[in-house]
Amino acid sequence: LLGRDRLISRLQPPPGGTVLEIACGTGRNLIAAAKAYPDARLYGLDISEEMLVSARAAVQRAGLQDRITLAKGDATEFDPQALFGIESVDRAYISYAISMIPDWQAAIGQGVAALAPDGRLHIVDFGQQERLPRLFRKGLYAWLARFHVAARAELPELVDRYYRMGHDVSFERLYGGYAWAAEIGARSP
């Protein structure tokens, strides 16, 4: 899934900062982030207990169980204090999950709400394949639909809404539109 490692490299949490992966799945990204930012505290939540079992095993194999905390939670309505004992996070990210979350806009809103004052939410997911051959786009969309995955064509408009509300934002089309990447900063005071 293109763009995940790019997202991790752009997190850049402050020294001793906190990083949350929303919909952490197998824990692959959390492990990569823990290795990239050895002084950060990492947290992951997922609604699927099966995914969390897999993530816990991967974190254990990587020897990172003292740095990564996992919890079962709904991306659209979670409380970092209740799940992890922290008020907010310096960085949060959603990697290839908004395409699987029915109320993906609420998940993004919840991620923004969990940010500390200088925090940022990073997002990468399937784009609209706008610069890729039509046959590739058609085949990819058919394959994704088999797994109830849908690229969110409205993501640029949602990012723009956050900009109009006073957030620092960015949006990029990556790899010919295969992936879209967005960042939303905590609202300026």
pLDDT tens by residue, 145-156: 788 888 888 999
The pLDDT of residue 188 = 62
Query: Which pairs with CB-CB distance under 8 Å and at least 24 residues apart come from 63-68?
Result: 64/30, 64/31, 64/34, 67/34, 67/40, 67/41, 67/42, 68/27, 68/30, 68/31, 68/34, 68/42, 68/43, 68/44
The pLDDT of 146-169, averaged and rounded, is 90
Instruction: Supply the mean pLDDT for the chain.
Output: 92
Q: Say whether pLDDT at 42 is over 70.
A: yes
Residue 83 pLDDT greater than 90, yes or no: yes
- Name the residue with higher pLDDT: 133 or 120: 120
For 121-132, the pLDDT digits (tens) are 999 998 877 776
pTM: 0.92
Q: How remote is the C-alpha of 41 from its chain's centroid? A: 16
The predicted structure's pLDDT at residue 174: 85
Q: What is the rounded CA–CA span in Å between residue 90 and residue 71?
A: 18
- DSSP for the chain, please give it: -TTHHHHHHHH-PPTT-EEEEES-TTSHHHHHHHHH-TT-EEEEEES-HHHHHHHHHHHHHTT-TTTEEEEE--TTS--HHHHHS-S-EEEEEEES-TTT-TTHHHHHHHHHHTEEEEEEEEEEEE---TTS-HHHHHHHHHHHHHTT----TTHHHHHHHHHHTT--EEEEEEGGGTEEEEEEEPPP-
- The residue among 128 and 59 whose pLDDT is bigger is 59
pLDDT for position 56: 98
pLDDT range class, residue 100, cuts 50, 70, 90: very high
Quickly state the pLDDT bin for 189 (edges 50, 70, 90). Answer: low
Taking 90 as the threshold, does the pLDDT of residue 3 lie above it? no
Pairing status of strand 169-174 against strand 68-72? unpaired
Residue 134 vs residue 45, higher pLDDT: 45
Confidence class for position 139, pLDDT limits 50, 70, 90: confident
**What pLDDT sits at residue 144?**
73
State CA 169 to chain mean position distance. 15
